[in-house]
């Protein structure tokens, strides 16, 4: 089944679509063609959106949790009904292989929205603590700023808990991959969400993101993106002392113990490094392995990497598509060149374009072996299909290497169950998978250190969007 990509990009303010005189091109990274244009929003557009959100807030906040959850459930159903259009659109705007877009990009938002709708029915909105009545209430107007790598999931991961909590929202989606935000706006209207509860202002971070962050009418900013941008948001938001939730960069480690199922550990690790072209904040671009097993791990990793075919993301056989943009391709390729220059052992891929792909934002999936854990490619977030393999002598050293970056978002451990669990507890990361543990939509997701603060998903994800009031009696 094939569906044409959605190509409508407009502001969505107070339940109505609108455009602007100045436009930003949306480019297909596979071939460099312009597939749509998005309004270049202004601070005045943000003012209008905030005004609509504030006007809609009292009535939406007064709506009961069950009714709010019912709307979110209908949103999930609406997204499910348009799954193929969503998948095709994301493949066109940011280059995710169509198989991944169908399996994850279009399905994760449905799972997230459904989980929050179900959670609303069992959440403890009020509780008695001694002589006090503790009440959880909506925080107000949420400003959401979302990235391009999982464009719809990142929006829904903020919108669904905010709606269940009783908040209203002003969203700035990524200008690089903005098109599924338009689909979502249509779905929310069809689901019966009142006008003004959900608003979209397109544009750049420097203009629209800055205006949202600084706006006195916004009570909370939820941001997913780079650590550099997160620092700026935290600084600007501090001027109005609004709540800030940040899900930032990562440099996940896959720690393989000497009693691990080596074939499973390496194959899963390569998958976690290369999926979505490595453009995943929760990826594992570092593989930390026993020194005695290093060469065998390299053999297995190279063999696994051979299956990650690079090509047109619209083709069913493609496993790795282009980087999201030519600018990002140049950045990732620069890191690969840096790894070579710094003396890491190149065992797969390398600088330059893949054979036969002379146009489009393509890089070669790359593996470096015997990587110094203090080197640039082992320390900085590359956000591309680049895997580093670093040997260790003791488990203590492995933990030290794994914890030895500024980030702490995700990691993995493979080995005997009890040993692996013990190592997982020592890792300074917000989420650790043991022996390939599966994704749990109810488990909190977020980072330690410069990977951010706050949590998404589950009860803790809902509580991010609530204020707590204590009524003494």
Query: The CATH number of the domain where 190 resides is what?
Result: 3.40.605.10
CATH number at residue 260: 3.40.309.10
Q: Are residues 209 and 300 in the same domain?
A: no
Nearest to 280 by CA among 431, 367, 378, 383: 383
Number of domains in the chain: 2
Tell whether 4 is covered by a domain: no
pLDDT at 1: 45
**What pLDDT does residue 99 have?**
98
**One domain, residues 174 and 262:** no
| Global pTM value | 0.96
One domain, residues 39 and 175 = yes
Distance CA 143, CA 325 (A): 26
> Same structural domain for residues 237 and 280?
no
In a domain, 329, yes or no: yes
Could you tell me what percentage of the chain is helix, strand and coil, using 3-state DSSP and rounding each to the nearest 5? Answer: 40, 20, 35
Q: Which residues of the chain have pLDDT under 70?
A: 1-2, 8
What is the pLDDT, as a whole number, of residue 2?
52
Whether residues 272 and 421 fall in one domain: yes
Same domain? For 292 and 233 the reply is: no
Domain holding 312, by residue range, is: 253-445
Classify residue 5: in a domain, yes or no: no
- Residue 2 in any domain: the answer is no
Q: Are residues 298 and 403 in the same domain?
A: yes
Q: Nearest CA to 35 among 22, 25, 46, 47? A: 25
Q: How far is the C-alpha of 116 from the C-alpha of 462, rounded, in Å? A: 8
Q: How much is the pLDDT for 45?
A: 97
Q: Are residues 389 and 425 in the same domain?
A: yes
User: pLDDT tens digit string along 166-199?
Assistant: 999 999 999 999 999 999 999 999 999 999 999 9
Shared-domain flag, residues 257 and 319: yes
Known catalytic residues are: 247, 281
Judge if 185 and 300 occupy the same domain. Answer: no
Q: What is the pLDDT of residue 20?
A: 80
**DSSP letter, residue 439:** P
Cα–Cα dist 128/72, whole Å: 28
Region label for 94, one of left (φ > 0), alpha (ψ between -120 and 50) or beta (otherwise): alpha
Considering the domain architecture, whether residues 54 and 91 belong to the same structural domain is answered as: yes
CA 271 – CA 403 distance, rounded (Å): 21
Same domain membership, residue 267 and residue 210:
no
């Amino acid at each position: 089944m094939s569906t044409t990509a959605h190509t409508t990009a407009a502001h969505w303010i107070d339940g109505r679509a609108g455009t602007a005189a100045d436009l930003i091109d949306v480019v297909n990274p596979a071939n460099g063609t312009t597939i749509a244009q998005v309004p270049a929003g202004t601070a005045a557009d943000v003012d209008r959106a905030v005004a609509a959100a504030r006007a809609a807030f009292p009535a939406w906040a007064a709506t009961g949790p069950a009714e709010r959850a019912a709307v979110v459930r209908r949103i999930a159903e609406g997204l499910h009904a348009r799954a193929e259009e969503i998948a095709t659109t994301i493949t066109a705007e940011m280059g995710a292989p169509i198989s991944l877009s169908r399996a994850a990009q279009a399905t994760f938002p449905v799972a997230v929205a459904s989980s929050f709708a179900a959670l609303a029915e069992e959440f403890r909105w009020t509780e008695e603590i001694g002589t006090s009545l503790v009440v959880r209430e909506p925080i107000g107007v949420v400003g959401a700023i979302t990235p391009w790598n999982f464009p719809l999931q990142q929006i829904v991961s903020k919108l669904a808990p905010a709606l269940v909590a009783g908040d209203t929202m002003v969203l700035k989606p990524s200008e690089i991959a903005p098109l599924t935000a338009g689909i979502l706006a249509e779905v929310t209207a069809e689901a019966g969400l009142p006008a003004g509860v959900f608003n979209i202002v397109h544009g750049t971070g420097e203009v629209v993101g800055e205006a949202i962050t600084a706006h006195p009418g916004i009570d909370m900013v939820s941001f997913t993106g780079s650590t550099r941008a997160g620092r700026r948001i935290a600084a600007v938001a501090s001027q109005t002392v609004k709540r800030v939730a940040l899900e930032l960069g990562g440099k996940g480690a896959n720690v393989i113990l000497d009693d691990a199922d080596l074939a499973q550990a390496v194959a899963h690790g390569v998958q976690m490094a290369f999926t979505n072209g490595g453009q995943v904040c929760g990826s594992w671009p570092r593989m930390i392995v026993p020194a005695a097993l290093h060469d065998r791990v390299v053999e297995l990793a190279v063999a696994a990497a051979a299956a990650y075919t690079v090509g047109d993301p619209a083709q069913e056989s493609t496993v790795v598509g282009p980087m999201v943009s030519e600018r990002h391709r140049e950045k990732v390729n620069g890191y690969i060149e840096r790894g070579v220059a710094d003396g890491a052992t190149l065992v797969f891929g390398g600088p330059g374009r893949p054979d036969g792909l002379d146009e489009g934002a393509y890089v070669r999936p790359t593996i470096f072996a015997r990587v110094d854990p203090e080197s640039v490619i082992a320390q900085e977030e590359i956000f591309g299909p680049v895997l580093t393999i670093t040997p260790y002598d003791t488990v203590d050293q492995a933990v030290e290497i794994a914890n030895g970056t500024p980030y702490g978002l995700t990691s993995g451990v493979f080995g005997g169950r009890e040993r692996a669990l013990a190592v997982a507890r020592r890792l300074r990361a917000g989420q650790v998978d043991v022996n390939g543990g599966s994704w749990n939509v109810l488990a909190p997701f977020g980072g330690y250190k410069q990977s951010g603060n706050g949590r998404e998903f589950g009860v803790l994800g809902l509580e991010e969007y609530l204020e707590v009031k204590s009524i003494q009696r």
